[in-house]
Chains A and B, each alone.
Chain A
Amino acid sequence: MSTEERIANARLVHRISFGPKPGQFRKMMKQGFKVSAKQLLTSGQPDYGDVKTAIGIADLGREPKPNSPSLSSYAVAKRAQLRNMSLWWLDQMVDQDFPFVERMTWFWHGHWATSFAKVDEPVVMFDHIAKLRKHAIGDFSQMCEEMVMDGGLIFWLDGQLNTARSPNENLSRELLELFTLGVNQYSETDVKEAAKALAGLKVVKNSGLVSKDARRSFVGATTVLGETNYFEPVTLARYLSLKPACQSFIPARLMYRFVSAATFEGGDLMMAHGKQKLSARLVKSAFATRQILPTMKVLVMSPAFQGLANSQVKSPVEWLVAVLRALRIVPSRYWNPDYFLKLLENLGQRPYFPPSVGGWPADEAWLSVASSQTLIDAAQTLARDGDTSPIAKIAKRERPDALADWLGVAEWSKRTLIAFEDALSNPARLTALAICSPEYLVSI
């Protein structure tokens, strides 16, 4: 089987899914990239049913006053809800055979990067992500409409403090810069005008319920990017999502996360060259409809996605989930589920806690002496506690190849193969070594 085909399938399974479950990569190689891509992209998602009831996510009511007797039970309940929703999401990423929709939800979480650190209400944060999940592979304009009225996002960006009489530009600016158009695609006047259209939103902090207070809203037309209209938050969001700048910006963000952060840094599609530029154009024209699934299909089939040059460093969540899938460890059923939350916090990427509204960094930012230490430690623990039978059953000399197929690695480097030699007789040690190797830390 050609190295190119192995690289293409490894990209597909690590970037568009969350890494292979045991046996998946070999099956992908057998059926070929195209069939595997179609299978993954059209897999949909399971019917989750009423998740909130199942895992106990509910409005906690208003925070009790300091020193009141109910404060500690309130805090305990809040912590439990946050824990449950964190583990539930990791479970979905780990457990589903084809977690494409969760992969996209994860992408959008980094895009609309809203953090529990400020929102501080489990139900509001859960609902925020649930809305992203609902539109994760759907219509981007609808996603924008829903987000601009989302209690979590509004509160995160002080939208409830923005009034006609005295504007607060936080939400307006990020809506233009980070969510729809990209930097330098608007003027300072546009920020001020868009802030007027967004003025008067109110959020009930503990429930996330949003309403618009007419007395605090701006009365009259506003002019945003050349169009004068009686914009409301929802019509503004749709209007922005349909601007030409958005048609470049969102594909650039998709290319940044799924193809190459190095090439598509800065959200500019046209900075790319050759094959990259051609691919960027294809993705951009697919996004003319603002439909996300067809855009992703074109991205995955584009030459840049399979091109040899586009390596990416796995982010901590990508690394951990891939390891857990391979080792068949479902987070909530692990003997110490909190371990995973602490681990991701130590690695700097805990779900529901993006570091800022710009989302998580990429590539070299994840590579440091600090993270190396944590990764090595986690690799020992997970390889010890997980199911290493996919290599344990195999003859020693065939283990390196079996390991590559099991973990979805295109090819081991010579130095890693040499390092394997001493560890061949010990499956846990071999596994720990493999998941800390440069070939696994980086999606080649």
Chain B
Amino acid sequence: MRTTANGVKLLLAMSAVTFAAWAIQAGPGQGIHYGPWMISPYVDESGTYDSNINQDSANARDDYFLNSEVGVRASYSAYMIEANALGYGGYRSYADTSDKDFGSGGEIVGVKYGLRERVLVQADESFRHVSDVDTHGSETAIGGISADSVLDAATRAKRDLSHFGASLGRDMTEKVEMDFGYRYDAARYDEAGLANLVGHNGQLEGAYQITDKSAAFATLFGGLQKNSAVDDAADYYGVRLGAKTHGTDKVSIKAGAGVEQYDRPSGTGDNVTRFNFDAQAVWVLTDKVLLRAGGRNGTLMSSILTDNASDYTVVWAGAVYRMLPTVALSLSGMYRIDDYIDPVTLPDGSSEDRQDKGKGLRARADYQTPASFMSLYAETSYEAVDSNVNNYDETRVSIGANLKY
């Protein structure tokens, strides 16, 4: 097993060196183009210091790790159609805690066709073998439905993630817009004690333009959540009413609020009716500074406390400063509360309500070097969880380089 891991590491290192040499000779870093087709192989190497590699509340252990990723991006672009694909494989090796080394990999394919004044169709699918943070998860957003509204964003265990999503959007008239989105997500864990999760999520939204700069909208949403440890599925549905601005000002806001009904699997507890909201705002402060903020809430089955579910609320804010065309600085922060519906059993056998309050901060700098095939980045992140079951905090500091053809 160890020999195999070393072999993979050696292969990745050789690929990185070979590709780096090739990219330096090849130069431009804009991909290989053939008519409307483009492919762009890349290598990403980063080194990270992690203050608490096991996210332990006590006996925090720090370590350094090296992340290597090799991948290929491909795209097809023509009038009214754009398709893109990503395939990648990676390996993480720790300096001291080598039993935590792991490999990862996956693929993402997406396609967009049409115009909203006729009909705009989008679809994507993905499979990712992940440990730790799912760094490519944000590339699977479809129809404005976020992954964290389907699966619990609450474990760093080794897992296989499958995804399919599709959306239809149309401007019915000059004043009426309609959008429909669906996404399927499944998480299969490679660890005893973690139940696999499957989520189906649908959303229908209609908007009516009230003034030149604003519209009112209604969102109907619903879906199923299945946990492999429970025979029955949870289902939920709800409605939000809201308003949004059209982007003629420097501030764009979309916010909706309503109610959600969450029906738990039979025999696992009482159903829940709760306030539901989803809001996003963008503020173009100057041509170089951009501010973003948002928040949402919902109810999710748990992969760990299998007959339980949590009401989650998450809010975030961030800023991007494009100091130069080649330099971008970003700062973001988020706060999340997971409030479990039923009391949980503690190791000492007692029962207690569980609430996890987490916060995260991230600062990042990206630099596109004069050699357009190479970009550099530095990032630091801090997250802390305050829970009556487990507390921890963790700081990471990374530097990395991305080479692409």
A binds B: no
| B residues lining the A interface (CB < 8 Å) | none
